[in-house]
């Protein structure tokens, strides 16, 4: 969403616009955002799925191995969506773009948003 709203740190923006990098968004990200939008906790100014597709972003489905990995993570972070993102990044060898400092407690590559 930060990308859709042009609200990223320059380093993250540069990595995202670099055509040599593959951009991937987890289904967990869309799921959490839509739940927050439906509850009134978040206003999303764009259709996230359409915006991602238009920008050539790949979809990352949640798999059973991802679920097992998320369940086995140390309890540094209580948010199940964030735990899934961490598990997926670890399982798939991906770098997470985040503003959440708790992610730093996990051995996962990060790029500060």
Phi and psi at 23, nearest 5°, equal -100, 130
Q: What is the CATH number of the domain that holds 107?
A: 3.40.50.1010
Question: How large a percentage of the chain has pLDDT more than 90?
Answer: 81
- Residue 80 domain-assigned? yes
- Residue 3 domain-assigned? no
- Residue 43 domain-assigned? yes
* E strand or H helix that includes residue 6: none
How many domains does the chain fold into?
1
- Residue 103 domain-assigned? yes
Q: pLDDT class for 45, splitting at 50, 70, 90?
A: confident
Q: pLDDT class for 3, splitting at 50, 70, 90?
A: low
Task: Give me the domain span that covers residue 42.
Answer: 10-112
Residue 4, pLDDT score: 59
* E strand or H helix that includes residue 64: helix 64-71
Q: Model pTM?
A: 0.89
- Residue 59 domain-assigned? yes
Q: What is the pLDDT of residues 67-107, one digit of tens each?
A: 999 999 999 999 999 999 999 999 999 999 999 999 999 99
């Amino acid at each position: 969403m930060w990308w859709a709203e042009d609200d990223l740190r320059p380093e993250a923006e540069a990595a995202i616009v670099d055509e040599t990098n593959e951009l991937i968004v987890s289904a967990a990200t869309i799921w959490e955002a839509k739940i927050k939008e439906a509850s009134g906790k978040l206003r999303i100014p764009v259709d996230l799925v359409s915006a991602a597709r238009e920008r050539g972003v790949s979809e990352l489905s949640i798999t059973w191995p991802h679920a097992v990995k998320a369940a086995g993570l140390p309890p540094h972070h209580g948010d199940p969506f964030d735990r899934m993102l961490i598990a997926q990044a670890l399982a798939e060898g991906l770098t997470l773009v985040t503003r959440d400092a708790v992610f730093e407690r996990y051995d996962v590559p990060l790029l500060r948003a």
